[in-house]
Amino acid sequence: MALTIKALNPGFVAKVTGVSLGEPFGEEVLAEIVSAIDNYAVCIFPDQPLTDERQLSFSARLGPLETTRRVNRADFKHRLDTRVTDVSNLDENNCLVARDSDRRMIAMSNRLWHTDSSFKKTPAKYSLLSARAIPSEGGETQFADLRAAYNALTEKKKQEIDDLIVMHWLTHLRSKTGFDHFTEAERAVEPPMPQVLVRTLPGLGRKTLYLAAHADHVIGMPVPEGRMLLMDLMEHATQPEFVHTHTWRVNDLVIWDDRCTMHRVREFGITEVRDMHRTTVSDVGPTIDQARVA
Amino acid sequence: MPLTVKPKNPSNPLFAAEVTGVDLSQPVADNVIIEIIAFMDIYAVGVFPGQKLSDEMQVAFSKCLGPVRPSRKNLRPGYKHRIDMQLSDVSNLTPGNEIREHDDYYRLSDLGNRLWHTDSSFKATPAMYSLLSARKVPSWGGETQFADLRAAYDALPEGKKKEIEDMIAMHAIMYSREKVGFTDFMQAERDLQPPVPQLIVRTHPGSGRKTLYLAAHAGEVVGMPLPEGRILLLDLIDHATQPQFIYTHNWNVDDLVIWDDRCTMHRAREFDMNEVRDMRRATVQDVAPTIEQEKAG
């Protein structure tokens, strides 16, 4: 064991030390990292100063990388490599974005509980978020453990939802935040996608909810009924006992398993810089195909 | 002092109490009405068990607290009312007393009651009190939860109190229904119920306590970009509905629960839709729009 793993939240969040992620390391260390994520779902690696190149090369060892969906916004000039999602409040000149800019309004939706890329046919497997500059207060990221939340459901509720399929949709955020400036490219590239509501994790065979703010409706249910079910499940899954709040330090790299967690960012001052760089590893296929194979 | 008051939750003793010692089916003396209002100013939610009320009795008692206003559902052309016109029908029943179909218009619209709200905040002059009488209750679920918005206000950090002090939110029934994906409104309903401005922080006249004033009906904050205002409202509702601010009421038949709409939110919880839940609500109107009240105060 090269790594030191310390549970911050038993079975859910761990602090991992003993590896420098910006340097080359062996396959056995990589296997230990994957095993830590399987066990904990959220792993915090403190003091990992990374360049985008190094973050990319480490991330690529975990699987194929997503391209930021901002490529569908011709109006955005990219500050970073398109394989790095720019989770900052900065424009391409490293200046704070305007208060009412589309960039900031889109980022507002990160304050809703979600899991990355659930609106894509093949969603995210892991997200890796590197803290480059952080505000003096606020801006915490909260994580919800959807495996523990599933386990805590009544048997009746488990039976009711076990085989349900949910349509996830990027533009569904409109009904939550009121943001409606989606481009034609975004609408065309990102139509509603079906995802299972309950999935089984390949690593340890555990069952988990799969939920996000992008979940729009449940197939086979009247829209309001499905949406109420989704809201009730989101609320259940984000009760304090399933939630861990991470207060960032510069050079924290946090890896989370998007297949079994939700996360959201908390409020921070609008005049301070928050510069976070995310790389995103794609899952092996659509959740529905994975469920069929299993 | 004929009333006996027993707080429901020892950890928040100034919110939600049971009241016995009065029969609300009979005319209630003025001094008892005054006592009930004084009680409501302190506790905000009053549970009066064993009150066997006809519609007529419920309306008569409610009128002792102020003017009673009918349901907005009457604004929809073609709506048939099952009960006394002065009461809102919070049931899953048709005018013929049959359980509504799975995809019934009014059943789907009423799913919006499962979102945290306060009654009639979408009206220029919203509700002061709601009086909900349980006539038939399902075998499980269907609880009503109440959130104490005075305690939630008190618990905000000073910075947040300052930030929201003078903010105004726009409330509309369409906003809350849009949240559950229910958009089937007739033009007449839309025309008669445009968004109305309400304060986010108000002062409760009876107790002098400051309180949040929030609801799923709130859809934007005046002067803020739409998404920013929505997230602010969501964060505030999230804050105000933490377990320490909540009382959950498990209904018995003939419970009458009165709540103060000026300083609480409430919501219904899931129940088996093949069972009857027949609740009838009288809604007592407030004295003026929230902005006018605060100016006058």
CATH number, residue B200:
3.60.130.10
pLDDT for B11 equals 86
Question: Which of B116 and B180 is assigned the larger pLDDT?
Answer: B116
What are the distances in angstroms from CA B53 to CA A204, A253, B132? Answer: 57, 62, 11
* Residue B265: count of CB within 10 angstroms of its CB: 28
3-state SS string for B232-291 = HHHHHHHHHCCHHHEEEECCCCCCEEEEECCCEEEEECCECCCCCCEEEEEEEECCCCHH
Residues 6+ apart with CB under 8 A from A58: A21, A22, A50, A128
Give the pTM. 0.94
Q: Do residues B283 and B68 touch, judged by C-beta distance below 8 A?
A: yes
Q: Is B182 an interface residue toward A (CB < 8 Å)?
A: yes
Where do the H-state alpha helices sit in B4-77?
30-43, 55-63
Q: How many CA atoms does the CB half-sphere of B143 hold within 13 Å?
A: 9
Q: Is A136 an interface residue toward B (CB < 8 Å)?
A: no
Residue range A238-250: average pLDDT? Answer: 98
Q: How many CA atoms does the CB half-sphere of B107 hold within 13 Å?
A: 22
ipTM: 0.93
Residue range B121-136: average pLDDT? Answer: 98
Range of weakest confidence among A95-104, A151-160, A179-188: A179-188
Distance in angstroms (rounded) separating the CA atoms of residues B110 and B127: 18
CATH topology of domain A4-293: Double-stranded beta-helix (3.60.130)
What are the distances in angstroms from CA B191 to CA B146, B173, B174, B195? Answer: 31, 12, 11, 10
Chain B CB contacts of A157 below 8 Å: none
> Which pLDDT tens digit goes with each residue over B200-237?
999 999 999 999 999 999 999 999 999 999 999 999 99
pLDDT for A175 equals 78
Based on the structure, what is the number of domains in chain B? 1
Distance in angstroms (rounded) separating the CA atoms of residues A248 and A96: 20
Please state whether A196 falls in left (phi above 0), alpha (psi between -120 and 50) or beta.
beta
pLDDT for B74 equals 81
pLDDT for A77 equals 83
Residues 6+ apart with CB under 8 A from A155: none
The pLDDT of residue A111 is above 90: yes
Structure confidence at residue A294 as a pLDDT band (50, 70, 90): low
> Which pLDDT tens digit goes with each residue over A275-291?
999 999 999 999 999 88
> Which pLDDT tens digit goes with each residue over B237-286?
999 999 999 999 999 999 999 999 999 999 999 999 899 999 999 999 99
Q: What is the DSSP letter of A110?
A: G
Chain A CB contacts of B181 below 8 Å: 175, 216-217, 223-224, 226-227
pLDDT for B118 equals 97
Domain map (residue ranges) of chain A: 4-293
Structure tokens at A68: 């930021």
Looking at chain B, which residue has its C-alpha nearest residue A177? B227
Q: Which residue among A108, A175, A226 places its CB closest to the CB of B231?
A: A108
- Residue-number span of the structural domain to which B86 is assigned: 4-296
